[in-house]
């Protein structure tokens, strides 16, 4: 029984780190591009109907979210970061759908949502908020 538990824990840890590293790479690269207002990001956000200054806000929070998810400890801050990622990316997905964008524009947000859920779900116990009940 112990071997099954160790195998399961090892599998979960591998899934967590793969999803978390891909998520972090996506959020960090997007955040940097938004923070520096790369031409394509400005065109993309204005196409969706948002002002260009919104990129600075998104960029800063994405970069801070990556830091929060990757550093040890601070499980409550990690929960906030995951929630922020989820709200931001589902908002982006809806914005693309509402604008009638092609599937190629929708694929990125869908992939990021999957990575957010996988990373959050498979995170190790020491990265979770443990609620004590009586």
CB 40 within 8 A of CB 55: no
Give, in degrees to the nearest 5, the angle at Cα 95 between 69 and 102: 105
Measure the CA–CA gap between 126 and 15, rounded to whole angstroms.
Answer: 16
DSSP H helices, the chain, are: 2-35, 39-47, 54-70, 75-98, 103-121
Which range among 10-14, 87-91, 128-132 shows the weakest confidence by mean pLDDT? Answer: 128-132
pTM of full prediction above 0.95: no
- At 131, the pLDDT band (50, 70, 90 cuts) reads confident
Q: Which residues contact 128 (CB under 8 A, 6 or more apart)?
A: 75
**DSSP-derived 3-state class of residue 2:** helix
Domain ranges of the chain: 9-122
Q: Which pLDDT score, from 0 to 100, does residue 126 have? A: 84
Which residues, 6 or more positions from 86, have their beta carbon under 8 angstroms from its beta carbon?
113, 116, 117
**What is the band of 34 on the pLDDT scale with cuts at 50, 70, 90?**
very high
């Amino acid at each position: 029984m112990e071997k099954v538990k160790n195998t399961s824990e090892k599998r979960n840890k591998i899934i967590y780190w793969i999803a978390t590293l891909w998520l972090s790479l996506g959020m960090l690269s997007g955040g940097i591009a938004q923070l520096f207002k790369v031409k394509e990001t400005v065109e993309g956000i204005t196409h969706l109907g948002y002002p260009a200054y919104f990129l600075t806000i998104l960029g800063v929070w994405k970069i801070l979210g990556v830091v929060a998810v990757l550093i040890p400890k601070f499980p409550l801050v990690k929960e906030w970061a995951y929630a922020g990622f989820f709200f931001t990316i589902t908002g982006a997905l809806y914005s693309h759908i509402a604008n009638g964008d092609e599937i190629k524009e929708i694929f990125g947000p869908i992939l990021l949502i999957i990575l957010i859920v996988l990373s959050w779900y498979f995170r190790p116990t020491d990265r979770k908020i443990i609620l004590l009940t009586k």
